[in-house]
Chains A and B, each alone.
Chain A
Amino acid sequence: MHGEKDWAGRAWVFGVWSLVGFFILNLAAMIGTVVVNSFGTRWFDTWLPASYTVRWYHQAWDEFQLPDILIVTMEVVGAVVLVSALIGVPAAYGMARRDFPGKRAVMLLFLLPLLVPPITYGIPLATVLYQAGLAGRIWGVILANLVPTVPFVILIMIPFVEQIDPRVEAAARVFGAGTGRLFVRVLVPLLAPGILAALLLVLVRTIAMFELTFLTAGSDSQTLVVALYYAVFAAGVRPGQSIDAMAVVYMLTTMVWLLIALRFVNPTQIVVRGRR
């Protein structure tokens, strides 16, 4: 089974791995140019810049108002993580434990925001939020970002809830715990690994969520990724190295959380939305 031993089989295996290698090489080079450029002074017709500096980071820090943008990003991401947990985890518990009429329809309702791409529903959503006077402010950005994350938390959490033996809950109820106490004392501690995984995934996805934030953000409610888009869009106004310095700050923010998340979740979970 481990490959045919003739030359055609070997050539095929070699070909497949070279393709993967080529992809990773290009990926690394693409990220590498951004990092190298952000530290370079002048870089024209050579493989590497003439000399290195950290000047562009100072410049990006001041010119792009990075401190403000980072604070807004933290506020948006924090609020999205908190609210999607508060709405999503109880809903996942209800979905996992009860069979009620219309459950399939409700499940479909939760699947749709994950299947329809953000730009498609983002435009009508932004229209409604503008009319409600919420878009252009941080609350509008938070509400828009919650649309995909609440169903995401629900779909990730349902299998985790199903793993808990219902007799544990029955025992707690026998000893007089109401639903609220049951949640705080029994379910949350038992579900902690699942909740942690779901929230880290929400966090990583929200930092990188461009479309919904872009459509609803005003000038003082931009997150890092939207600010980066505007910087690249208006390239030529500022030096490219300064834009790349900002890109590196964005990359670091994302990668730190990705690395933390990967300690608790399987990489495929970032793509495969909580099947099983």
Chain B
Amino acid sequence: MNAVPWRLRLQNRGLDGVTLLVLPAVGFIVALFVYPFLYGLFLSFAPMQGPWFANYKKFFGDPFLYDTILTTLWIAVPATLVNLLVSIPVAMRVRLMAHPRLLTTILVIPITLGTVLVAEGLLNYLGPRGWLNRALIFFAVTDSPTRLVHNYWGVFLSLVITGFPFTFLLIQSYVTGIDPSLERAGAMLGARAPARFFRIVLPLLVPGLVITLSLSFVQAFSVFPSAVLLGAPAGPTRVISIAAYQAAFEQYDYSMASAIAMIMAVVQVAIVVALLGARGLVYRGPATGGKG
């Protein structure tokens, strides 16, 4: 009844042997990313005792647990904002450099070393006998060592050390995508540097800023090793990932741990969606100039 063979029809829709090459990767991600996530979601509704929502009730009924959301936000939001606000002017200057590669290479080092090494380094460096406190006393900024580890500031500074390079490199890739001739045109018409930045560059940069802010925030919100090693994991820096880890590997309550992981994911998604929604309110369009 149909003259066209099914193989050919599939081919016309882009499905043939080559498309099948995608299948192993899809199968792998479904098996090891999607399935565990769904499994965790179901497991979180199957608590060790009590009704199906018992884990969530326990989380939002116990300040020791629900406070971890605020604690994490209290560390992650300032760190993300500081990193972003410092990255923008630096990226604007680096854009004018002829050979920025050395600088970007140096900045990639803390990202590559990872949070565990940064934590160990900062424990030495910021400690009461570390070089930083020595320098502060030497220059008579303080007369006794400032406490910078095993509290909020240790975790905050570790998020700056690994987060600033990450944020900067992302911002830099967006800044270099803006056509310099647009700014030159502004300068020709008499706009000074601040006006050129706020009236020309910033509006074009907003979409990139939103993506960067989302990615940096999500990274900072999932802070784990440095909150344990550099912070005070029992109190001021008991972040949400510590609560999830303790539920899973200290109390062996995988159901509760999955519930906390799901709450963590929901907070991250909520903030990213809010940011992306806010992006819709501002200019969207090409960041290049043209004859018009």
Give the interface of A toward B (CB within 8 A): 1-4, 9, 12-13, 16-17, 19-20, 23-24, 26-27, 29-34, 37, 43-45, 47, 87-88, 90-91, 93-95, 97-101, 103, 106, 109-110, 112-113, 115-121, 123-128, 130, 143-144, 146-147, 150-151, 154, 179, 204, 208-211, 214-215, 225, 228-229, 232-233, 235, 240, 243-244, 247, 250-251, 254-255, 258, 262, 266-268, 270-272, 275
Q: Mark B113-132, 1 if CB is under 8 A from A, else 0.
A: 11111111111110001111
A34 to chain B, nearest CB (A): 5
B91 to chain A, nearest CB (A): 10
Question: Across the interface, do B111 and A270 meet the contact criterion of CB distance under 8 Å?
Answer: yes
A149 to chain B, nearest CB (A): 11
A45 to chain B, nearest CB (A): 7
Nearest A residue to B27, CB-CB: A87
Please, which residues of chain A bring their CB within 8 A of the CB of B99? none
Tell yes or no: B29 within 8 A of A by CB: yes
Candidates B25, B130, B169; contact of A150 at CB < 8 Å:
B25
Question: Across the interface, do B29 and A150 meet the contact criterion of CB distance under 8 Å?
Answer: yes
Q: Mark B16-45, 1 if CB is under 8 A from A, else 0.
A: 111111101110111011111101110100
Please, which residues of chain B bring their CB within 8 A of the CB of A258? 108-109, 112
Question: Across the interface, do A243 and B111 meet the contact criterion of CB distance under 8 Å?
Answer: no
If A4-B192, A120-B222 touch, does A33 touch B13 (CB 8 Å cutoff)? Answer: no
Question: Across the interface, do A47 and B21 meet the contact criterion of CB distance under 8 Å?
Answer: no
A101 to chain B, nearest CB (A): 6
Not counting A91-B22, A244-B120, a sample of 5 additional A-B residue pairs whose C-beta atoms are within 8 angstroms of each other reads A124-B40, A130-B254, A150-B29, A179-B21, A232-B123
Please, which residues of chain B bring their CB within 8 A of the CB of A19? 86, 90
Please, which residues of chain A bring their CB within 8 A of the CB of B123? 232, 235
Please, which residues of chain B bring their CB within 8 A of the CB of A29? 125, 131-132
CA distance A251 to B101 in the complex (A): 21
Please, which residues of chain B bring their CB within 8 A of the CB of A27? 106, 109-110, 161
If A1-B187, A120-B265 touch, does A127 touch B34 (CB 8 Å cutoff)? Answer: no
If A121-B33, A121-B36, A267-B101 touch, does A100 touch B14 (CB 8 Å cutoff)? Answer: yes
Across the A-B interface, the 7 shortest Cβ-Cβ residue pairs = A124-B40, A117-B222, A91-B25, A208-B114, A94-B21, A100-B14, A90-B21
Please, which residues of chain A bring their CB within 8 A of the CB of B28? 87, 146, 150
CA distance A144 to B26 in the complex (A): 15
Candidates B18, B43, B166, B228; contact of A98 at CB < 8 Å:
B18
Please, which residues of chain A bring their CB within 8 A of the CB of B164? 23
Tell yes or no: B84 within 8 A of A by CB: no
The listed residue with most B CB atoms (<10 A of its CB), out of A26, A88, A97, A151, is: A26
Question: Across the interface, do B24 and A229 meet the contact criterion of CB distance under 8 Å?
Answer: no
Tell yes or no: B107 within 8 A of A by CB: yes
CA distance A228 to B115 in the complex (A): 11
Nearest B residue to A169, CB-CB: B18
If A100-B14, A247-B121, A271-B108 touch, does A127 touch B113 (CB 8 Å cutoff)? Answer: no
Nearest A residue to B264, CB-CB: A120
B88 to chain A, nearest CB (A): 10
Candidates A100, A119, A254, A271; contact of B19 at CB < 8 Å:
A100
Nearest A residue to B94, CB-CB: A20
Question: Across the interface, do B241 and A119 meet the contact criterion of CB distance under 8 Å?
Answer: yes
CA distance A131 to B30 in the complex (A): 17
B50 to chain A, nearest CB (A): 19
Nearest B residue to A148, CB-CB: B33
CA distance A116 to B225 in the complex (A): 17
Nearest A residue to B167, CB-CB: A271
Please, which residues of chain B bring their CB within 8 A of the CB of A244? 120, 124
Question: Across the interface, do B254 and A127 meet the contact criterion of CB distance under 8 Å?
Answer: yes
A159 to chain B, nearest CB (A): 14
A236 to chain B, nearest CB (A): 12
Nearest A residue to B169, CB-CB: A271
Candidates A33, A109, A112; contact of B131 at CB < 8 Å:
A33
